[in-house]
Amino acid sequence: MELKRVVVTGMGALTPLGNTITEYWNNLRNGVSGCDYITLFDASKFKTRFACEIKGFDPISFLDRKEARKLDRFSQTAIAASDQGVQDAGIDRNNVDVDRVGVVFASGIGGLITFQEEVLNFGKGDGTPRFNPFFIPKMILDIAAGHISMRHGFRGPNFAVVSACASSTNAMMESFNLIRMGKADIIITGGAESVVSEAGVGGFNAMKALSERNDDPKTASRPYDKDRDGFVMGEAAGVLVFEELEHALKRGAKIYCEIAGAGATADAHHLTAPHPEGLGAKNVMIQALADADMQASDIDYINTHGTSTPLGDVAEVKAIVDVFGEHAFNLNISSTKSMTGHSLGAAGAIEAIACIMAVQNDVVPPTINHFTDDPELDPRLNFTFGEAQKREVNAALSNTFGFGGHNACMIFKKYK
């Protein structure tokens, strides 16, 4: 079977750096930190008191107040981003076959805020079970995909993907495969995560996964810095509209880029730690390159998983050097998590958008907050420290890795 070509025709985003694609990209390019002290709950007694929150988000600006109360924050942001993406792609029910428009959407955790609220409310009572009838439909992580499809009347493939921090990249990979195999014309894909809450921050603090740099939150996310001390919690929603090329051309859609290939592997190593030699990361990049029928030398930019954890950053860099050899030193590498924090299941989606904008604009966004070189990292590598760099970006690769050893990778290239 001849596989169909797949392109990106629309995007939408709510991020700690802005609630539109333009605002998000401008702040990425300018090296702005999206981190600050937590406002969504009282974090004064927590080991970590800062996060990268979405700012200025009001669900009532696009949802009826009664409808908004039926949705967890992660679903609210997912709907807002999907509205942007669908509008950007110029899709309406009159110019597409809704039976061939799907939604494959991800979250790493789903409605944790709702779960926390309901369980705490129950615990305050006398043991009589009193739960909000929307408790379960607000909490389950597939519900964002359901709401997006219902809002727009899209009746194609509809499901959720969960693989921790690789979730939205896996969702995009599934969407890519469905379209190129002819199962759909368009799929709204991406991910949303909103777990800046007592349970979210407290849980990750207990794992010793989060930075505790409370005296300087703006610089707390320090990928590749010798003194990095953990990741910074973020929240975000990112949406991409994937479309079969001929279908996009027929309806005169604008095309941001082409999706070249994708891969998915497992570390099969540890519950939370990466393979020390980056074996799973190495294999997933090799797989994505093979799927794209590309050579390592065809890649210009890698948006790394780069979470600012001591073990993860080193393992991924080892994998990059193994896969790319001498070409690794010609690449630009950057971790946009230095600005957005780590938005868990939404990370792959907003980082895919960063890759696509890099391809579109021939600009590589920076890795900020670098102060001290790490002797474990090869100094010949270009981590794009401090400032964005202009260069031709014909193809960009995006890595995302999740607890459980899940690895996912996608390659985006200029449409020709």
Rounded CA separation 36/220 (Å): 10
Supply the DSSP symbol for 231. Answer: B
CA atoms lying within 13 Å on the CB side of residue 278: 23
User: Tens digits of per-residue pLDDT, 172-207?
Assistant: 999 999 999 999 999 999 999 999 999 999 999 999
Q: Are 237 and 20 in contact, with CB atoms under 8 Å apart?
A: no
Q: What is the pLDDT of residues 372-414, one digit of tens each?
A: 999 999 999 999 999 999 999 999 999 999 999 999 999 999 9
At 202 the pLDDT is 98
Q: What is the pLDDT of residue 276?
A: 81
How far apart CA 131 and CA 139 sit, in angstroms, is: 12
Mean pLDDT in residue range 3-16: 98
Residue 272: is its pLDDT beyond 80? no
Q: In this prediction, what percent of the chain has a pLDDT beyond 70? A: 100
Residue 277 pLDDT more than 90?
A: no
Which tokens in the block code for residue 302? 């890698």
Nearest-CA neighbor of 51 among 220, 207, 173? Answer: 220
Q: What is the spatial distance between Cα 32 and Cα 43, in angstroms, rounded to a whole number?
A: 23
d(CA 198, CA 78): 21
Please give the pLDDT value at position 267: 87
Q: Give percent above pLDDT 90 in the chain.
A: 94
**CATH number for the domain whose boundaries are 7-250:** 3.40.47.10
**DSSP assignment string, 121-184:** HHHHTTS-----TTHHHHH-TTHHHHHHHHHHT--S-EEEE-BTBTHHHHHHHHHHHHHHTTS-
Closest CA to 189 of 160, 165, 164, 151: 160
List pLDDT tens digits, range 83-105.
999 999 999 888 899 999 999 99
- Give one DSSP letter per residue of 6-50, joined into a string: EEEEEEEEEBTTBSSHHHHHHHHHTT----EE--SS--TTSS--E
Q: State residue 192's pLDDT score.
A: 98
The tens digit of pLDDT for each residue in 290-328 reads: 999 999 999 999 999 999 999 999 999 999 999 999 999
How confident is the model over 100-141, as pLDDT tens digits?
999 999 999 999 999 999 999 999 988 899 999 999 999 999
- Cα 334 to the chain's mean position, in Å? 15
pLDDT at 137: 96
Question: Which superfamily does 261-413 belong to?
Answer: Thiolase/Chalcone synthase (3.40.47.10)
Is 0.85 topped by the overall pTM?
yes
Quick check: is 35 catalytic?
A: no
How far apart (Å, rounded) are the C-alpha atoms in residues 50 and 27? 19
Q: Which of residues 278 and 71 earns the better pLDDT score?
A: 71
Q: 165, 257, 355, 409: which is the annotated catalytic residue?
A: 165
Query: Given this model, what pLDDT does residue 316 score?
Result: 96
Domain extents in the chain: 7-250, 261-413
Topology agreement, domain 7-250 and domain 261-413: yes
